Amino acid sequence: MLKFCRQLATGLLTLAVTAGAMVLPALAHPHIFIDAAVTLAFDDDGAVTALKHEWTFDAAFSAWVVQGLDSDGDGITSVAELQDLADENMLGLADFGFYTFAGEGDDMLAFTPVGDQTMDYVDGRVTLRYSVMPEAPFHPGNRFELAINDPEYYVAISFADAAKVTLQNAPDSCNVVLEPPRAMDKQVEERLYALGPEVLELPPDLAAAMRGTQGIIVVSCTGVVPAAATALEATKQVAEARPATPFGGPPPEPGLTLPRSGFFGWLQDQQRQFYGAMTGSLGALHNDWTAFWLLGGLSFVYGVLHAAGPGHGKVVISSYMLANESQARRGISLSIISAMLQSVVAVVFVLVAAGALRMTSLAMSDAANWIGIASYAMVALLGLWLIARKVFGWGHSHHHHGADLSQKAHDHLHETDHHHHDHDHHGHDHDHSGHEHDGDKHAHLHVVPPSVAGSSWREQLGVVLAVGLRPCSGALVVLVFALSQGLLVAGIAAVFLMGAGTALTVAVLAAAAVYSKSLARRIGGADNAVTASVVWWAELAGAVAVLGFGILLLIASL
């Protein structure tokens, strides 16, 4: 008995760990890469009066930015044609605090735009230049910290070295150091994990605690006498009408991002490196078609890494498999079909929106966002159906009319303790516990098998559409870049190889969900009431996870 309890505990622990892994918050990875430079302007009294930013975007996203903006059709996207987008970006960046976090200790500065923003498109890359100023001049002391990054890591902002940070008219006693990313405090990490995907803004104290986790600029001005009043209000409140994305980028999947430290920091760095190499190899096809093989391999690996990070696909399919399926091959099939549908949607979207309609990046972002909203709504509806199916037995082909499936399983398990029936194994039908048994096909089936309780094709279609309807944002950027370079066929191939890599990772997670249930049943025994009850509740938890995740994503995206 003791051995049995230990084995059952092992199986249930595996089931619990699998279920828990599926409800972790989505971790974002960057779709926009910026090579940054900043100038800190001082007044004659030694106070910082402005920060002058210069951000150069990667080539792939630059192609997305200029999409549809060549209004005169001369083949050149001019500064004037980009000005409206530059002005729009200032409105959006204000809602993100200009990705600029500065201050000493717990005193954080609030910034306002100067109004000098411009954008240009040179050598295939867009550069945004703009300035912000603190609400009052600030006198830096021994350690003035300046962090320029996106806490959600949708945008990756990098400084090549300290030379990219310039002090203008600063006192002679001031110097600047560029500190690398530091490890995140464990308590801060736990608080981040506790925040759900509906949380789009970090609390001020948490944002302050994260300063430096993605690298930080430190300015020291020893001997400078600060002004009498330098403590300003903590963090500028985020506007109620928050834009979906900065810079008119494709919509990110809602979710809080951990900073670049530990395993997730390594994963994010790998995603960035593979993404950069992938777009670089795509551009190299102009001169060397053998680069296609490199592009294919990089695209596949990027898809694997992409699925290991954020994405509602793995959560929805894995939770669905935990809630409703016992056949690993079905989970693998759903993973492959969903990933391929994502690729198809991305290709069709770009061909129609960018190729045929010549929509701007802002218009495409809005359209893609609404597609995402529809996808999240379908996830929520799928979860609601799975809960109803589990609780009320809707769609259950074994005809347990109006009965709770958990109770039915319990009744089946205890049937043989009180009754012994002789079964005719020659095709005779028997009236047994209120339902029919055809020969010995269903004799003594105390737990309904997948062949009987499996989902319908309509339900599986709902899973595929809920996951595959929302295209990957990275795929959209790659396709627009490929279209701008006249390499659309190669871009489409890259996107489908990305989908294949994504399918591989999601299929492994789906199979793990099925295996965890099988292990619990095998260790506990299929006819054991405790095992059946625990598995039933775990399946219900999977259904609730699908509903909850869909609702959170839907709220966060509206």
Dist. CA 50–CA 467, nearest whole Å? 45
| Cα three-residue angle 268-272-276, rounded to 5 degrees | 170
- Return the DSSP state at 212: B
Pairing of strands 32-42, 155-158: parallel
| pTM of the predicted protein model | 0.67
Neighbour count for residue 364 (Cβ, 10 Å) = 25
Measured CA to CA, the distance from residue 230 to residue 47 in angstroms comes to 10
**Distance from C-alpha of 317 to C-alpha of 334, rounded to nearest angstrom:** 8
Say if residues 473 and 271 touch (Cβ distance below 8 Å): no
Task: Determine the distance from the C-alpha atom of residue 256 to the mean position of all C-alpha atoms in its chain, rounded to a whole number.
Answer: 8
Distance (Å, whole) CA 452 – CA 398: 6
Residue 114 is classified by DSSP as -
pLDDT at 515: 83
Separation between Cα atoms, residue 545 and residue 324, nearest integer Å: 12
Tens of each residue's pLDDT in the chain, 558 residues:
444 444 444 444 344 434 444 444 444 567 789 999 999 999 998 899 999 999 999 999 999 999 999 988 898 999 999 999 999 999 889 888 898 988 887 677 889 999 999 999 999 999 999 999 998 888 888 888 898 988 777 788 889 888 899 999 999 889 998 888 777 777 877 777 676 655 656 676 776 677 667 788 999 987 544 433 333 333 233 233 344 466 767 777 665 444 455 666 676 677 778 788 888 888 888 788 888 899 899 899 888 887 765 555 667 777 777 676 567 788 888 889 999 999 999 999 999 999 888 888 888 988 988 898 898 888 888 888 888 888 887 655 444 443 444 444 444 444 444 444 444 444 444 444 444 444 443 333 333 343 334 457 788 888 888 888 888 888 898 999 999 889 999 999 999 999 999 999 888 888 887 887 777 777 766 567 777 787 788 788 878 888 887 887 788 777
Residue 543 CA to residue 492 CA, distance in Å, equals: 35
2-21 exposure pattern, b = at least 16 Cβ within 10 A, e = fewer: eeeeebbeebbebbeebbee
The residue type found at 290 is T
Domain boundaries, the chain: 2-27+312-397+450-557, 32-248
CA distance 486 to 491: 9
Token readout for 137 is 């001049």
Sign of CA dihedral 273, 180, 139, 150: positive
Give the list of residues 6+ apart from residue 172 with CB closer than 8 angstroms, or none: none
* 534/321 Cα distance (integer angstroms): 16
Residue 556 near residue 201, CB atoms below 8 Å: no
Give the residue among 276, 271, 267 at the shortest CA–CA distance from 294.
Answer: 276
What lies within 8 Å, CB to CB, of 473 at 6+ separation is 31, 249, 250, 251, 252, 253, 368
Instruction: Tell me the one-letter amino acid at 140.
Output: P
pLDDT on residue 166: 93
* Separation between Cα atoms, residue 354 and residue 64, nearest integer Å: 9
Q: Please give the pLDDT value at position 61.
A: 92
Of residues 228, 309, 300, the one with CA closest to residue 265 = 309
CB atoms within 10 A of CB 506: 29
Are the CB atoms for 460 and 334 separated by under 8 Å?
yes
